Amino acid sequence: MADFHQVLRPVLISTDEVKTCPLGLINLNQPGNYLVWLMNYSGELSIDIVSSYVRVYVFGTYYGRQNQVFDLSINQRHIEPNSLSQVLIKGVFAGASRFSYKGLIKILAKAQSSQAYQKNQNLILSDKAYVESDPFLEIEANRVVCGHGSTTSSLSIRQLNYLLSRGLSHAQAERLMIFGFLSEVVYQSKAKAKQLKLLAGLDKILNRLKLGRT
Amino acid sequence: MTDPAYQLPRGLNRDVIRKISKHKKEPDWMLEFRLNAYKIFQSKHKPNWGVDLSRLDFNDLSYYSVAFGKKATWSEIPKEIKLVYEKLGIPEAEQKFLAGVSTQLESQVIYESLKFDLERQGVIFTDTDTAVQKYPGLFRKYFAKLVPPTDNLFAALNSAVWSGGSFVYVPKGVQIKRPLQAYFLINLARIGQFEITLIIVEEGGMAHYLEGCTAPIYRRDSLHAAVVEVFVHNRARLRYTTVQNWSKNVYNLTTKRARVEEEAVMEWVDGNIGSLATMKYPACLLVGKRAHGETLSVSFADSGQHQDTGAKMVHLAKKTTSRIIAKSVSKGTGRSSYRGLVKFGPQAAGSSAFVSCDALILNETARSDTYPIMKVSTKRITLKHEATVEKLEEKKLLYLMSRGLNRSQAEGLLVSGFISPVLKEIPLEYASELNRLINLKMEGSVG
């Protein structure tokens, strides 16, 4: 992935060369690479691509605990041809937290040769947590590559058992697995320095989650 | 049975409903049920999602004996429908029947011998009107329990004015090897616009129910609103196959739901080719431990058509599993939508679901939508969903054309390949007709 000309940030994780943009509507009318980071962000985010040769990435991590409620809605609207948009949202939900993801990729008839993806993956750690995932597509052009994926599950017992057999405590093992799950988002960024900063951010998140049953 | 010449004037009111019930000599409780459903119908509004229903006028329809309306004459059947009959190689007698010119098929003989076999095993396979009269106890135990009139506008309408449909009862442990074909059952009384189909498979039983046909069915009246209720008891198995090819003036708004008990298996196989607009989402309520639900669906939206189809899986017990495979093709100005729901209740620990929906867009003017909804309220479940939207690959087309096929043949072959995972689950004779039909559509000689 190329370096980003601009980093738009509804919610901030990284700091340098950041240009804040108002939440709600993001209007991309210049070619270039754009990046949006979300962290536990609730609300609606509309991305209108009104220029060709735009590459826009939206990466988000969510961690819910106790009675936290997150409601995210993302619209990827391709109005002009030859652009790319990619959404990747990963969430971990403990306690009685609730998460609702509503995504919509809309490709207008004249936005031929668009590429659009959305992926939402969730881990549920508690029987009281609730996740809703609605990744919608509305495609009016025919020369497009478009796809979405959504998965929701608990931690794999097999992987957990393996880690336990290698001497980790239950809490350590859970934490390692969740870290691995969320860090996919981090590694989407090419710059090493930024990655490290993001990983440190994740570490803080996991500390606050108070994982494990020790 | 009913007199074919009998037809009520257009319009819907309490009087019409009374007349329907009286003409069918129904018991009082059924009339009461109908009137109550009509009251519910009046209190509901058309859905503001899905297909465009603004041109659908409930008061401009005839609600009874509309199976074939007044008999049509052969000369008023649209040319393109006759052409399809010819290309599919359907015998003349069947052509006339499908077009609504004749009301009885010659296949009665084949059906009689099958029926004898079934009766010996205690299987009931009859039309719903007969079931109300002959098996009132059994009928009332299951009727309107899964899809009550309060469910949605079209279920309420169906409950108020229903006529026709099939009733199937498979006793404990009876496994029927041959598919039960509603096709053989068709006569005026049995195929309606507002049919109710009720299927009960007792413990350990097995059946395959098949309805519809690949040849276009011509209707003057433009609304088909059916209700299908299926009960699959412990360790039983049912497959319900529908191939729908209504003529292009019909709204097909159908509610289908199955209740699946312990270790039972329910499969919906659904092919939607015809109609002006379809809204149909077969559902499985997985209420017993280790129940399995499956939906395989293929839809083809040609110019002017909107196919809004999908599936619903509701996991309500431990270790239940489900799978949805949906394939859609849009061509011309056609629009196809997948709309689905996968829900895990708090009791669904150890359950898993898989959804895959693939769409093919053939022209610049065609449109494809995907509206999946997933709700999870327990851990220890696995839910996977994937969807792709694509066009036919130019490379593959060029390869086939270099081997001597013309462009439309090559396109037809690729489309056949695309839908083959669903096609191979449909009985051979239907699958091959469906395949031919899709190739006809691809050639552009139809519609």
- The verdict on A124 touching B (C-beta cutoff 8 Å) is yes
Interface contact flag, A109 B365, Cβ < 8 Å? yes
Which H helix or E strand runs over B333? none
- For B:380-419, CB contacts with A below 8 A are 380-391
Q: Which of B346, B379, B381 sits opposite A125 (nearest CB)?
A: B379
In-domain check, residue A174 = yes
Give the distance, in angstroms, between the CA of residue A200 and the centroid of all CA atoms in the same chain.
17
The ranges assigned to domains in chain B are 6-280, 397-447
Query: How many domains does the structure of chain A reveal?
Result: 1
How many other CB atoms are found less than 10 A from the CB of residue B414?
Answer: 17
- For residue B393, the chain A residues in CB contact (below 8 A) are none
Which tens digits make up the pLDDT trace of B88-116?
Answer: 666 666 666 666 555 444 444 455 667 77
Which tens digits make up the pLDDT trace of B140-165?
Answer: 999 999 999 999 999 999 999 998 78
pLDDT computed for residue B92 by the predictor: 66
Under 8 Å CB-to-CB from B372, ≥6 apart: which residues?
A134, A135, A136, A150, B338, B339, B340, B341, B342, B355, B357, B385, B387
d(CA B30, CA B1): 17
- For residue B383, the chain A residues in CB contact (below 8 A) are 150-153
- For residue A127, the chain B residues in CB contact (below 8 A) are 346, 349, 378-380
Nearest-neighbour CA in chain B from A143: distance (Å): 6
Name the E strands within B302-366: 306-315, 321-330, 335-344, 352-361
* Orientation of helix B28-43 relative to helix B153-161, angle to 10°: 150
Residue spans of chain A under pLDDT 50? 1-21, 212-214
Asked if residues B177 and B208 have their Cβ atoms less than 8 Å apart, the reply is no
- The verdict on A159 touching B (C-beta cutoff 8 Å) is no
More confident residue, B415 or B185: B415
pLDDT of residue B423 exceeding 90: no
As a whole number, mean pLDDT of residues B320-336 equals 94
Four-CA torsion B434, B197, B248, B16, nearest 10 degrees: 160
pLDDT computed for residue A190 by the predictor: 64
In-domain check, residue A3 = no
Interface contact flag, A152 B376, Cβ < 8 Å? yes
pLDDT of residue B118 exceeding 50: yes
pLDDT computed for residue B69 by the predictor: 41
Among B376, B382, B384, B393, which would you mutate to test the A interface (most chain A Cβ atoms within 10 Å of its Cβ)?
Answer: B376
pLDDT of residue B203 exceeding 90: yes
Q: Structure tokens of B417?
A: 């390949």
- Give the structural domain span for A76: 8-208
Interface contact flag, A142 B346, Cβ < 8 Å? no
Q: Which of B361, B371, B376 sits opposite A124 (nearest CB)?
A: B376
pLDDT computed for residue B372 by the predictor: 93
Interface contact flag, B374 A150, Cβ < 8 Å? yes
In-domain check, residue A112 = yes
Among B379, B390, B394, which would you mutate to test the A interface (most chain A Cβ atoms within 10 Å of its Cβ)?
Answer: B379
Interface contact flag, B366 A142, Cβ < 8 Å? yes
Interface contact flag, A147 B364, Cβ < 8 Å? no
Which tens digits make up the pLDDT trace of B278-325?
Answer: 999 999 999 999 999 999 999 999 999 999 999 999 999 999 999 999
In-domain check, residue A129 = yes
In-domain check, residue A118 = yes
ipTM exceeds 0.90, yes or no? no
Among A121, A137, A151, A160, which would you mutate to test the B interface (most chain B Cβ atoms within 10 Å of its Cβ)?
Answer: A137
Q: Which of B368, B378, B387 sits opposite A147 (nearest CB)?
A: B387
Which tens digits make up the pLDDT trace of A42-85?
Answer: 888 889 999 999 888 888 888 888 888 888 999 999 999 999 99
Name the E strands within B184-226: 196-201, 206-212, 223-224
d(CA B296, CA B181): 19
Which tens digits make up the pLDDT trace of B248-276?
Answer: 888 899 999 999 999 999 999 988 988 89
Compute the mean pLDDT over every residue in chain B, rounded to the nearest whole number: 84
Share of chain B above pLDDT 70, in %: 84
